[in-house]
């Protein structure tokens, strides 16, 4: 899990806070419906979901396996007083004694588990840290529609001074993202290339893994407005799993 030691400083450009803050309506509906008072983001990255949920009045906690991501996250949340730890979400009980009403594992963070067994271990670890009637929220961008259309190139972000492209290779149950990052300098360009392997989390595979856990209810959506998940069209799989 060395990807983020190299990617951390460019991760903001890849998934900027302005886009994460557009998810506020989705999260306020979830918080209200499930009466959420506490939340752990167990792959919190740079911390912007925690920032937003704190603004919604939720008591927040964050952890991530990458010390580099947590370092930037600490800086981003310096005015929030949110407790942060470096921890693997497969072993949440090692660091967190408290239980939470909601655990987030979003922006394809669960897709780092490449084998079904590891997905199940990660979900079990989250289950252990949930209050009764607690929920897990998962978003995966590597799902059925991507597997069906198999684009080889996605221009992920284009800014005036920087462009990030994904060159994608497809295998049975996983996808390799080759991430080309081009930055303009005064009179030239700087290029860097990183590769990241993510599991292909189709609806069928995801439900099969959840069925091996003690969770009793899973709701799957196709967008932030809770519309149906369409295997041929939804760009992301959204799941709320209840204890």
**Which residues sit at the interface with ligand SAM, rule CB under 6 A?**
1, 4, 15, 42-45, 49, 64-66, 69, 88-90, 106-109, 112
| C-alpha separations of 36 from 25, 39, 40, 56 in Å | 14, 7, 11, 10
Closest CA to 215 of 137, 98, 140: 137
As measured in angstroms, the least distance from the Cβ of 45 to ligand SAM is 3
Q: Which residue is closest to ligand SAM by CB?
A: 45
Query: How many angstroms from the chain centroid is the CA of residue 116?
Result: 17
- Choice between 89 and 186, CB closer to ligand SAM: 89
- Choice between 59 and 91, CB closer to ligand SAM: 91
The tokens describing 205, both together, are 């595979």
Say which DSSP state 151 is in.
-
As measured in angstroms, the least distance from the Cβ of 7 to ligand SAM is 8
DSSP H helices, the chain, are 3-14, 17-21, 24-33, 48-55, 67-76, 92-95, 116-128, 144-149, 203-211
As measured in angstroms, the least distance from the Cβ of 2 to ligand SAM is 10
- Choice between 65 and 239, CB closer to ligand SAM: 65
Alpha carbons 70 and 42: distance in angstroms, whole number: 11
- Choice between 106 and 130, CB closer to ligand SAM: 106
CB burial of residue 134 (10 Å; 0-12, 13-18, 19+) = buried
- Choice between 129 and 185, CB closer to ligand SAM: 129
144 within 8 A of 202, measured Cβ to Cβ: yes
DSSP-assigned beta bridge partners for residue 175: 170, 198
Alpha carbons 141 and 105: distance in angstroms, whole number: 12
- Choice between 3 and 35, CB closer to ligand SAM: 3
As measured in angstroms, the least distance from the Cβ of 217 to ligand SAM is 23
As measured in angstroms, the least distance from the Cβ of 78 to ligand SAM is 18
Alpha carbons 220 and 227: distance in angstroms, whole number: 9
- Choice between 138 and 185, CB closer to ligand SAM: 138
As measured in angstroms, the least distance from the Cβ of 47 to ligand SAM is 8
As measured in angstroms, the least distance from the Cβ of 42 to ligand SAM is 6
């Amino acid at each position: 899990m060395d990807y983020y030691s190299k990617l951390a400083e460019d991760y903001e450009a890849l998934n900027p806070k302005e886009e994460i803050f557009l998810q506020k309506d989705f999260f306020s509906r979830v918080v209200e419906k499930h009466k959420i008072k506490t939340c752990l983001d167990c792959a919190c990255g740079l911390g912007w979901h925690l920032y937003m949920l704190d603004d919604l009045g939720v008591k927040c906690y964050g952890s991530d396996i990458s010390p580099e991501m947590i370092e930037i996250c600490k800086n981003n949340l310096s005015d929030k007083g949110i407790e942060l730890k470096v921890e693997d979400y497969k072993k949440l009980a090692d660091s967190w004694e408290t239980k939470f009403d909601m655990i987030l594992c979003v922006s394809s963070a669960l897709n780092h588990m490449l084998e079904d067994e590891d997905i199940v271990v990660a979900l079990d670890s989250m289950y252990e840290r949930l209050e009764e009637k607690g929920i897990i929220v998962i978003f995966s961008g590597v799902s059925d529609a991507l597997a069906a259309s198999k684009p080889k190139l996605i221009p992920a972000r284009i800014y005036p001074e920087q462009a990030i492209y994904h060159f994608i290779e497809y295998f049975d149950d996983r996808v390799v993202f080759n991430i080309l990052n081009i930055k303009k300098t005064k009179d030239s360009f700087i290029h860097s290339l990183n590769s990241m392997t993510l599991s292909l989390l189709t609806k069928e595979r995801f439900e099969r893994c959840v069925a091996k856990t003690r969770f009793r209810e899973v709701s799957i959506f196709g967008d932030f407005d809770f519309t149906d998940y369409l295997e041929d069209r939804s760009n992301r799989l959204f799941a709320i799993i209840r204890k």
